[in-house]
Amino acid sequence: MMVSILIIYLNFQTRDLRTDHLTGANNRLHLEHYIKARIRNSTERKTFGAIMIDIDDFKSINDRHGHAAGDEALKNAVRVLKSSLRRDDFIARFGGDEFIVIIDIQTKEELKDAVERIIANINHFNQKGSYPYNIRFSMGYDIYDPSLKMKPDDFVNHIDQLMYSNKKANH
């Protein structure tokens, strides 16, 4: 009985160390370990896609509706991402109002389909009008190419730059 309780306790501790306390998404530290492992195990035939997501005008949600509404918007953003992706896809809060999604796919077409599902679901969320704010995303995404031998930080910077290009194009 004590061993079972200890195992349960250790599982909760591990989950707490890997999870963003506000949104329930994976945290940045877990992301760093996860992406290193994915890159290390990538081959020409088995790679992955990644999406960097930024909530547009997040500061205005906080300024107009308060920090509780901002926290709620972050949680809603994660709910939309979870509803747009498969159960095994990896969603992490990168920091502030930025998230990274790691998807087990092989082609840009599959990745674009995932991005389009996210866009459709965020539009549906906004159309319901259940909250005093809308959530809009800027997204940068790509497939990891093992032949380029990018380090994790280089790949994250790459999709970050793509996300900022998307943000500039939307404004």
pLDDT at 16: 53
| Those residues with Cβ within 8 angstroms of residue 141's Cβ, 6 or more apart along the chain or in another chain | 49, 50, 51, 52, 111, 112, 115, 159, 162
Rounded Cα distance between 134 and 127, Å, is: 9
Which H or E element spans position 75?
helix 67-84
pTM value is 0.89
pLDDT value at residue 4:
60
Sign of CA dihedral 110, 119, 63, 76: negative
- Give the pLDDT confidence score for residue 6 in this predicted structure: 44
pLDDT lower than 50: segments of the chain: 6, 9-10, 12-14
Q: How confident is the model at residue 122, as a pLDDT?
A: 97
Strand segments, DSSP code E, in 38-155 are 49-55, 90-95, 98-103, 137-143
Q: Which residues, in sequence order, are CB contacts of 147 under 8 Å at separation 6+?
A: 44
Report whether 122 contacts 136 (CB < 8 A).
Answer: yes
Q: Name the residue type at position 159.
A: I
Q: What is the distance between the alpha carbons of residues 89 and 104, in angstroms, rounded to a whole number?
A: 7
pLDDT at 1: 59
| Structure tokens belonging to residue 142 | 């790509």
Q: What is the pLDDT of residue 129?
A: 87
